[in-house]
Chain A
């Protein structure tokens, strides 16, 4: 090329244009320009407003509907947070007579089952090719004709339900069954406490379940009852229990809680004095306790001398003394479904004057209404093929009863279930029910305390409540809402005097979610002491055999939540294991049998009536002669979770196609005197070879170095502090080990803050129930990662509950500590982030900015509290329907981004926006993060630490308040209040 031809104007292009490369560059420039220009065109996003304006439904604005939880039968109040016509989060309903504003993990998780894609859509008719969809008209026509034939022939009709305490449904059931010559209602509870009601029938002449008032009890003795986690009404019990342990009351009070149990339950972890007791020893120990109480009361009972041979005699004496000293404010409970045991419990409570104070018979509980003996009779009727129609609602006997109830032998089986289960498989007709968030309903958890349920969303799947179905089958065309209202107008409204207008009364009850009517409890007779009999110690199991204990896990309960991935991934509060059930053995038993964590064993009932294969979990604090197995696993269809978690080269499935999650122990439930027995059966444990890895989260995200990795003589960091009530009274801050911190500040505050958001967590109140964990998951769109990712320490929970053990066997002390982002003022994560994706806000929040994060993970490595979570993958939901459970107020994080607790900043922003709208400041207590809102124990308090009058600031100034790992001087905004127990002072200690 001739350089003399150079034209200055074209200089930059001279070289480029003359080559092929330059030519391409220029063409590229042209195309890119055009591309850039076209990029500036907006994407055509359509917005489709409703044709009719709605006053309630403003797009983007949340509204709240009071209702009643359907996670179990306890009847806790919920506030459903709805956005754009659908519920996205369940919150506790403050002021509710049962739950007092809290919720449990199963309740928090139950919103996910609303968006379960497996639910039935309309009735299903059994055909040779399986269930085929049918219309309600066809179903009604065929069923009415069938009922008519049975009615004419005087046939036998049975309605089998779980506990149904709804007055309108009970009335409908009675009306329907009475139209048949031989119609009967059979109620059972998968986790039966039938013996308590039977025992009251024997001692008080009325088959009732008392309402336990743990708030009024100063001494609590529990034999195996896991009342803080799964027994009858855990949220109610937790709220009451913590109310009875109020250090802030004047004068401070703290109940003393003795727990004698075979396995390590969450309730046992909270006990002030805990001893191991094999199931066969419960009767003798209770007999001994009653004998000692009789001696105190000066009653010549039938139990005299029963204490001589009782196990733990020294402890029994101490318990009897303390129970007697606080008589009138003492409570004895037992978990065993055994009438003899429960009669002794009644006897003890009667001697202690508990009836009328700690046991409420005025407003007895209806939360478990099952009758095991009626169930046994139904089994016999079915076995002789004499049941013409069996209608099953609110129960899954095909699973719960381990196949022992031959439901398929009914001539016509009608199932009212939401989704396919083990029972609907045999059904001639499935008449699906709506989810509890879609339906009208009522309930009566305590006699006279009525609760209401109202729809929060139109039916997502075509379903009908049992009440409406029964009305249709009886020729009643009223809508479900009318049926409910008419019942309330006729039956409930006249029972109250506060309001004279029914509409006003009903609307008020709907708004409050409940109405409490004047007490009209059942009449009970005087205590019949002749029912009391001492119980002898059963023969120990044969050499080498163990006693089997079947229990329920928080969240999974009896298996009704077996299709809920949140609850599967929720670590068990004690074992910290996710996605599995297992055979728990004590460390000594496991060692003596050469078994280690994860070894596969077969648990055989000694009488050969059932067996299950499970991995071993070595559980500290368990009785040496006991093997404990959780119910509720091995549900049919759980191979759906094969799709949970990321697909990648090394990824393993959560469950193999065709498999199930865990194994069903329902086949191991025994029977004694017509009642279902969950403990005491002799069982052998045989290794079958092989082992699996249990996805336990306990050693993940540890604040301390494992002993095996730590250098010799390394520092042991103290993380949780605990002291006795007596020591606390002497020196309120004595349990806490404080560190001298340098006065000089590397980062002096460069500007004064008006607000510093902070939190206090009272370890003396926290029971470890894990409601906060699932509440956080629901609020913050925390994904489910699956079993394999949990094994890789990649669970995404923003809030975890750390469990600390100290000691073993009878001396085991357990502490639980919720751990979340501490929002440190001197946050180590902030100084290592190369892209400023995590920075401090002017209100003391440690902010995580997802769209800045490039995923170096430096912050997670440097975080001393190990609370940061990395999105190794995208974690898609199972179906588009499930996406509707996502909270629209929180960003969905993508792969490669770090995330962590934000202190529910979306709620802070919402409160600030509302305050600005109303032209005022944010009030103390107005911002409640999801964890605090859900906590039944009121252990978590959030607010402005800079406001000296705020509740959180006052608690942060408590002598018990400390920050975890204070010696690091990272200045967290979360203060923990040291645990206080009511045991002996020498039991003072700290976990690490």
Chain B
């Protein structure tokens, strides 16, 4: 039998435990809300570098956003548009060039460890020649809406919505993170507030709040 004092101590301890567990997780959410989800990806791709520093347009890689319901995760062949020549960070290349100059030899090709993974996936050897053994890259999907929702990127892009409105400051994210909670309340709030310029000619000036707009 617990004494009253012990009981109080225990109660405080249990509360503390609960609070600690809650606090231990960076953010506290209801089930289904994955805001802040930022899983480790198979390749440490940096949106900060590509979208932020290098200012590559989002749709250069996520070209489905304009034409399809899915923005899509780019094919490795899109990476190769640049990374066929850019094989490592600029610093590493400069260092190698200096070193080569000092040692009086031709600079060698420097391949960063992360890009090596890309080349392995595409089945490219040291000299970026195909070996024939390719393995697709299994990215971890960050943004998942519920199964019974049909979200369409193409309408939102066509209506002039900036990617950052929903995806947040991607240009500053080293590793991609879910910015919005993607809940129905969050969707509907925006649909209620938004007015679309009438000159798009779609015959309506507000985003739809019909159930069948997303659920069918």
A-to-B contact residues, CB < 8 Å = 1-2, 5, 7, 10, 13-14, 16-18, 22-23, 26-27, 29-30, 33-34, 36-54, 58-61, 754-755, 839, 841-843, 845, 847, 849-851, 889-891, 902, 905-906, 909, 912-917, 919-921
Interface-side segment among B5-13, B48-56, B91-99, B100-108: B5-13
| A–B complex contacts, Cβ < 8 Å, 23 sampled | A13-B11, A17-B10, A26-B14, A30-B18, A33-B22, A36-B30, A41-B37, A44-B39, A47-B141, A53-B75, A58-B64, A59-B70, A60-B64, A60-B68, A839-B211, A843-B210, A850-B215, A902-B216, A909-B212, A909-B213, A917-B155, A917-B158, A921-B202
Q: Which residue of B lies closest to A836 (CB)?
A: B211
Shortest C-beta distance, A778 to chain B (Å), equals 16
Known: A26-B14, A849-B215, A921-B201. A53 touches B74 (CB 8 A): yes
Supply 5 further A-B pairs (C-beta < 8 A) apart from A34-B21, A40-B25, A915-B202: A18-B4, A39-B32, A40-B31, A49-B73, A916-B158
B77–A51 CB distance below 8 A: yes
Which residues from A are CB-within-8-Å of B64?
Answer: 58-61
Q: Quick one: which of B86-124 are within 8 Å of A by CB?
A: 121-122
* Bound: A847/B31 CA distance, A: 27
Which residues from A are CB-within-8-Å of B215?
Answer: 847, 849-851, 891
Which residues from A are CB-within-8-Å of B73?
Answer: 47, 49
* Proximity string of chain B (1-44) to chain A, C-beta cutoff 8 Å, 1 when within and 0 when not: 01011011011101101110110110111111111110100000
Which residues from B are CB-within-8-Å of A26?
Answer: 10-11, 14-15
Q: Which residue of B lies closest to A38 (CB)?
A: B25
* Bound: A36/B28 CA distance, A: 8
Q: Which residue of A18, A40, A755 contacts B2 across the interface (Cβ within 8 Å)?
A: A18
Which residues from A are CB-within-8-Å of B212?
Answer: 841, 845, 847, 902, 905, 909
B155–A5 CB distance below 8 A: no
* Bound: A106/B174 CA distance, A: 55
B4–A909 CB distance below 8 A: no
* Proximity string of chain B (57-86) to chain A, C-beta cutoff 8 Å, 1 when within and 0 when not: 000000110111110111111100000000
Shortest C-beta distance, A484 to chain B (Å), equals 30
Q: Which residue of A lies closest to B143 (CB)?
A: A42
A59–B216 CB distance below 8 A: no
B4–A42 CB distance below 8 A: no
Known: A40-B33, A917-B155. A48 touches B67 (CB 8 A): no
* Bound: A617/B18 CA distance, A: 70
Shortest C-beta distance, B15 to chain A (Å), equals 8
B193 within 8 A of A: no
Shortest C-beta distance, B169 to chain A (Å), equals 19
Which residues from B are CB-within-8-Å of A5?
Answer: 4-5
A17–B74 CB distance below 8 A: no
B165 within 8 A of A: no
Is chain B's binding surface mostly helix, strand, loop or mixed? loop
B194 within 8 A of A: no
B75–A61 CB distance below 8 A: no
* Bound: A225/B94 CA distance, A: 84
Which residues from B are CB-within-8-Å of A919?
Answer: 158, 200-201
Which residues from B are CB-within-8-Å of A916?
Answer: 154-155, 158-159, 200, 202
Which residues from A are CB-within-8-Å of B167?
Answer: none
Known: A50-B136, A51-B134, A51-B136. A913 touches B152 (CB 8 A): yes
Which residues from B are CB-within-8-Å of A44?
Answer: 39, 140
B137 within 8 A of A: yes
Which residues from B are CB-within-8-Å of A42?
Answer: 34, 37, 39, 142, 144, 178
A46–B140 CB distance below 8 A: yes
B127 within 8 A of A: no
Which residues from B are CB-within-8-Å of A905?
Answer: 212, 216
Q: Which residue of A lies closest to B156 (CB)?
A: A916
* Bound: A842/B192 CA distance, A: 14
Please list the 10 inter-chain residue pairs (A to B) with the smallest Cβ-Cβ separation, ordered nearest first.
A40-B29, A60-B70, A42-B37, A17-B11, A841-B210, A61-B68, A39-B31, A42-B34, A13-B11, A17-B7
Number of interface residues of B (CB under 8 A): 78
B67–A61 CB distance below 8 A: yes
Shortest C-beta distance, A269 to chain B (Å), equals 35
B195 within 8 A of A: no
Which residues from B are CB-within-8-Å of A43?
Answer: 144
* Bound: A3/B143 CA distance, A: 54
A51–B141 CB distance below 8 A: no
B211–A14 CB distance below 8 A: no
B148–A850 CB distance below 8 A: yes
B203 within 8 A of A: yes
* Bound: A902/B5 CA distance, A: 64
A47–B139 CB distance below 8 A: yes
Most buried by B among A41, A841, A916: A916
Q: Which residue of B lies closest to A2 (CB)?
A: B4
Which residues from A are CB-within-8-Å of B11?
Answer: 10, 13, 16-17, 26
Shortest C-beta distance, A527 to chain B (Å), equals 59
Q: Which residue of B31, B78, B150 contacts A53 across the interface (Cβ within 8 Å)?
A: B78
Q: Which residue of A48, A60, A842 contacts B138 across the interface (Cβ within 8 Å)?
A: A48
* Bound: A58/B65 CA distance, A: 10
B8–A889 CB distance below 8 A: no
Q: Which residue of A29, A49, A51, A906 contacts B122 across the interface (Cβ within 8 Å)?
A: A51
Shortest C-beta distance, A554 to chain B (Å), equals 29
B175 within 8 A of A: no
Which residues from B are CB-within-8-Å of A39?
Answer: 29-32
B155–A912 CB distance below 8 A: yes
* Bound: A889/B149 CA distance, A: 10
* Bound: A550/B22 CA distance, A: 74
Shortest C-beta distance, A844 to chain B (Å), equals 10
Known: A26-B14, A917-B67. A41 touches B34 (CB 8 A): yes
Q: Which residue of A16, A36, A845 contacts B31 across the interface (Cβ within 8 Å)?
A: A36
Q: Quick one: which of B153-172 are within 8 Å of A by CB?
A: 154-155, 157-159
Which residues from B are CB-within-8-Å of A891?
Answer: 147-148, 215-216
Shortest C-beta distance, A514 to chain B (Å), equals 29
B202–A49 CB distance below 8 A: no
Which residues from B are CB-within-8-Å of A60?
Answer: 64, 68-70, 72
* Bound: A905/B122 CA distance, A: 40
Which residues from A are CB-within-8-Å of B76?
Answer: 49, 51-52
A37–B28 CB distance below 8 A: yes
Shortest C-beta distance, A971 to chain B (Å), equals 19
Shortest C-beta distance, B8 to chain A (Å), equals 5
Which residues from B are CB-within-8-Å of A50?
Answer: 75, 136
Which residues from A are CB-within-8-Å of B25?
Answer: 37-38, 40
B208 within 8 A of A: yes
Which residues from B are CB-within-8-Å of A48?
Answer: 136-139
Which residues from A are CB-within-8-Å of B21?
Answer: 30, 33-34, 37
A53–B8 CB distance below 8 A: no
Q: Which residue of A lies closest to B73 (CB)?
A: A49
Known: A58-B64, A755-B203. A49 touches B136 (CB 8 A): yes
* Bound: A2/B7 CA distance, A: 12
Which residues from B are CB-within-8-Å of A22?
Answer: 7
Shortest C-beta distance, A694 to chain B (Å), equals 35
Known: A42-B39, A46-B140. A51 touches B4 (CB 8 A): no
Shortest C-beta distance, B168 to chain A (Å), equals 15
Which residues from B are CB-within-8-Å of A909?
Answer: 150, 152, 212-213, 216
Shortest C-beta distance, A306 to chain B (Å), equals 62
Q: Which residue of A27, A52, A847 contacts B211 across the interface (Cβ within 8 Å)?
A: A847
A13–B158 CB distance below 8 A: no
* Bound: A755/B203 CA distance, A: 9
* Bound: A525/B21 CA distance, A: 95
B72–A58 CB distance below 8 A: yes
* Bound: A400/B18 CA distance, A: 73
* Bound: A59/B74 CA distance, A: 11
Shortest C-beta distance, A593 to chain B (Å), equals 52
B202–A37 CB distance below 8 A: no
Shortest C-beta distance, B20 to chain A (Å), equals 9
Shortest C-beta distance, A966 to chain B (Å), equals 26
Shortest C-beta distance, B178 to chain A (Å), equals 7
